Structure 1
């Protein structure tokens, strides 16, 4: 609960009808001409709101009582909902979540870029539970008590987690064993974080430790990994290399497949991959379809990572150039190209936030371009290369705000927003993935 200000304490609870949601999932109503943002409220709710913070143009409030629930309101499935800082939309049914995600993206684009898509596509949908193939668990010991779990909403407090319904079942099944092994190690405080990752038919455990682990403790973790058939790595600190502790199949990497393109990609737990394989497969297929490539086309793939889009594009185009800032991902992309027998996919390293005009790849002509930037977006590269980019540009975004900002840059460069699709990459959360096709005649 947020601390109440003096003015908030002086404001008596009042009834409020909720008519919309903010981008971060708070309900919005109006009271005496003032906007009121209410945590955990939904459009269609009538609530008694209690103000917790007063600002000049709005109030922030919490629900004192739900008078009439929204038809879309549901009972959260997670027992620690409201404590863990993760899945904050569990009280909204899945169709409602899809609608909210689309509305947030459309609202940001209209407000900040003055753009509406010529065609709004149906959102790509995911199973609402058991979809998450990556997780980072914090380990804390306080007064000889172990906390293994996720951070609480708005704080660094660790909420213990014994089950997580959004985790892939193969990863959720590891949680009891991880806690039990931590409790029997000789130096449990040496472990600061545990990262979990799953491929299509494999899973891995990465232990981050701040002090060297004894041989006996390493053996204890190997026993756990062998019991669950999981890969095991140790890492003393970032960006130190991973040390393989156990591999059930003799392979040094995990893998996932893109069946439509007959591709298999290798990755490590420290490598970026999409957390939701169900959406990732649909997303890659839709991206290739929207770009409508010819066998002679050349494609530029910016922020390409380990080749998640680069390699599928290479199965349809004549040549694909992937550009990525992290040397480790560039090398992994090259390894994945070799593993899949693709000689028409080239991977280059470059910091795309810096001056790239002298880079050889930036001076070439392309028929299409794909961008999949981090949450900070692609402002620098778009401002630098706007006049050189091809007429077909596909933008994958995990942040509606930076998508809208960058869409404004593309609008100034003569592009129109031809197609838009929200993607259900993160069910139960306020986060939204978006695909936008920009065309310039």
Structure 2
């Protein structure tokens, strides 16, 4: 009887969670489309109030005092510390990206990870399709540029690579959730969709990332389902598991070092800068002109978003690389925190090879794009505290198989 009551209560709380989660994610995504251009000042303020305050705070309170109330005390110290840090960054930077990312992680505590991803996928994909149709038919602004000798369409986003980045993250969700069940026709359909996105956006870097994602997941499914090569089937997940914690810090350090070392005297770095569309140049300038602080500061980023002109706007200073963008905007502590956190997630779930591949791909893509902590693009942060379902042989899974929230709670209880 008690079990039935608990299950019914769990269903009700999950329904309330998703009833708040869907409009929150919807507003986060819409606010990063050209539909937001049509908002009046009052509407813009209401959207911001709902997106950045009312809905995330409601979700966090729902989780802390209803969903996860039984082990609240053990986690409260860690969570309060993280929230205070992000609140400090928010007050200094006037940007809510980091705060919303932390709120998403806390709100997702003890909620089924795959269920969150499925709801996010449905919500985001529906909005992308609607925005694409609206932009293509002239209902909302469709920003067009003509750089690199090609016509590029933003299809309802602020810039063409924003659209291809959104598709990249949606592709990762699809591959993570469904690659094990996919047939050859599904793989071909996804590859065709990627090429179609490239045709309209001409996002070369995102094309490479998406094709790499398809290739890695296709190889993964071939290897794990192979009946001939037992050695390869065993080694493949072990290799990914051993590399798991290193992807994010290695790529973060790599782009930081290349940016700092960039010089007009180095032909190799000049060529690399050209390949990376001047990312090293503007990152290097930002170190000298913007600088870095412990908790971040307000930076007036001037980029190509919302501009159809082929000429860079006056004062252009946008840094695309996520790791550097966070470093300049939110400071050294926040940058290290988020890099270490994703490394911990990868290590903690190292037995989930599909998730490790996803994290590796995100780590690579974030050298090129600035959506690392943007929940309108990247929902994978929820895995930190969300509930995972494992088919463990024993009743007590190892640390790598437990939800991160359980490890945090246990360590706090032990005084570690």
Same fold (TM over 0.5): no
Name the TM-score, length of structure 1 as normaliser. 0.23
The structure richer in helix per residue is 2
Name the TM-score, length of structure 2 as normaliser. 0.24
Which structure's CA Rg is the greater one?
A: 1
Structure having greater relative contact order (Cα 8 Å, sep ≥ 6): 2
The structure richer in strand per residue is 1
